[in-house]
Amino acid sequence: MSVNPIDLSCYGLSVEDIIHNATPARLYEFAIVDHHAVISASGALATRSGDKTGRSPKDKRIVDDPASSDDIWWGDVNMRMTERSFLINRQRALDYLNTRPRIFVFDGYAGWDPSYQIKVRVIAESAYHALFMHNMLIRPTDEQLQDFGEPDVVIFNAGSFPANPYTAQMTSTTSIDLSIENGELVILGTQYAGEMKKGVFTVMNYLMPKQDVLSMHCSANTSTDGDVSLFFGLSGTGKTTLSADPRRQLIGDDEHCWTDDGVFNIEGGCYAKTINLSKKNEPIIWDAIRFGAIVENVWLDEDSKEADYDNTDITENGRCAYPLEHIEKRTKKNLAGEPEAIIFLTCDLTGVLPPVSILSKEAAAYHFLSGYTALVGSTEMGSSAAIRSTFSTCFGAPFF
């Protein structure tokens, strides 16, 4: 049985049962049958990502190719790998996927402005990952899906299968490998779904500046009069919460681009942290966690399946992914005009900044480039549980 049949032999995949762009209801069905998830009391699909409950930045690699090498910010964030090591990991992922009784494919878009939109194909072993990207990418219409053609980026997610740590440039059994030239992302050794989302963002951060477009790690909303605000900040500093304002219309909660015409959202959904979530304090996010959404690494009562967002026994980095359609008060095209206000959400642990500051143009440029803030340890694997001060250029260095 296959939904929207698709031939993946061009990638070296020969799995007979391929589930292509299935509806959320079908993906629920597969996730439950495969024992990957349960239905929570709110109607959201509840699942866990295994040992990795956050991103693994120290296991992120980019192929060092002459065509792009001079345009990549090499260092602790973007570590070099050879094409040979990438191909070894790619083959390892394909070999594993070929052993699966079925695999899931989702074709979608990144970027709401048609002038800058890219096509993304996700190939994964689990319905959980397919539903996650169904929420986080822009969902094509039936007509668009028929004419989708060749994708610009392909994600091979074999996250439950480990990388070989003895492969050159590998440091563990986890590896997230990007080839700019091939337009491919290979994931091994981690089932944390956020790696796919941020992988797409990294690609957009490479492509957009080449078209004189500023890609931004920020949320955005607007008034009915078109008064646009941007909220920059690292994970956990309040981008999703502040952009979900009942008095304003949501554009997006995490990834945007700024062109000569204004700003547009990159994504088709939101990825909210759920720690201490309550209906009283965050009613818009609370109400978005319903059928079609994914609750990830959140404690559920065994009998009632009610989520306990205050419980951090699994992780402090509990998450929920939901489509933009779950937010009633939003911009319908997920884009808007020039920003009127730009807000930097800085978590200041040392008390060197006033609680609220209005910045001059020069001070704003300085703080944007230095990105003084704090890193929430639970967001990244291997970090201390305590938050700590850091500098993150443009409040988004891990994804540049």
Catalytic amino acids? 55, 198, 217, 235, 239-240, 254, 319
CA distance 28 to 144: 24
Distance of CA 394 to the CA centre of its chain: 18
Q: Which two tokens stand for residue 276?
A: 């201490």
Cα–Cα distances (Å) from 396 to 215, 259, 345, in that order, read 10, 18, 12
Overall size of the chain counted in residues: 400
Nearest to 158 by CA among 211, 117, 104: 104
Beta bridge partners of 319: 273, 296
Q: Measured between alpha carbons, how far is 394 from 232 in angstroms, rounded to an integer?
A: 8
User: Is residue 360 classed exposed, middle or buried when 0-12, 13-18 and 19+ CB atoms within 10 A define those classes?
Assistant: exposed
Best CA proximity match to 21, nearest among 32, 9, 5: 5
Q: Are 108 and 140 in contact (CB under 8 A)?
A: yes
The values of phi and psi at residue 91, to 5°, are -65, -35
Residue 322 contacts residue 135 (beta carbons within 8 Å)? yes
The secondary structure of residue 146, as a DSSP letter, is: H
Task: For strands 388-391 and 372-375, give the pairing.
Answer: antiparallel
C-alpha–C-alpha distance, residues 18 and 192, integer Å? 22
Phi, psi torsion values for 308, nearest 5 degrees: -110, 95
Measure the CA–CA gap between 144 and 232, rounded to whole angstroms. 32
Distances (CA, A) of 363 to 144, 229, 344, 366: 45, 18, 12, 5
Strand partners, 175: 188
Which tokens sit at 245? 């304002």
**Other Cβ atoms within 10 Å of 97 Cβ, number:** 22
